[in-house]
Amino acid sequence: MITLHDLYEQDGQGAVREAVVAFGARHLVRSGDPDAGTDWKWAERHFTCLIETIMGAAVPPPPGSGKPVVRRAENAAVGFLLAVSSQPDYRCPVCVKQQARQTR
């Protein structure tokens, strides 16, 4: 499965790279220090969860053809990053879902 790091490295100076950085900015280190920076492990886990959620919503593939489903889910997740990266106040959907569970 593709990672945020892979996307960042593959895109050079393009929009996908900017979208990866914007997604990472939604996952700051929880140290109390406002300049602590991005927790990339946390961001990677949430990007993987996003891909898995998209795959779970897909129609089950015929036996032996799982790779195209994964690729489509990865592309949809990248499309999501691109769509929301220009929104200054968007929240990571995985974070939102986890926060909703904690407040119940």
pLDDT for position 9: 93
- What are the average pLDDT values for consecutive 10-residue runs of the chain, which has 104 residues? 93 90 91 79 96 79 70 93 91 90 81
Report pLDDT for 42: 95
Task: For the chain, give every domain's residue range.
Answer: 4-102
Tokens 């997740």 appear where?
77
3 phi/psi in degrees, rounded to 5: -115, 165
- d(Cα 2, Cα 59) in Å, to the nearest integer? 20
Q: State the pLDDT at residue 34.
A: 67
**Contact 28/38 with Cβ under 8 angstroms?**
yes
Beta bridge partners of 38: 28
Q: Which residue carries 């990865």 as its tokens?
A: 74
Task: Quote the pTM value.
Answer: 0.84
DSSP 8-state code for residue 61: P
Residue 66 to residue 52: CA distance in whole angstroms: 13
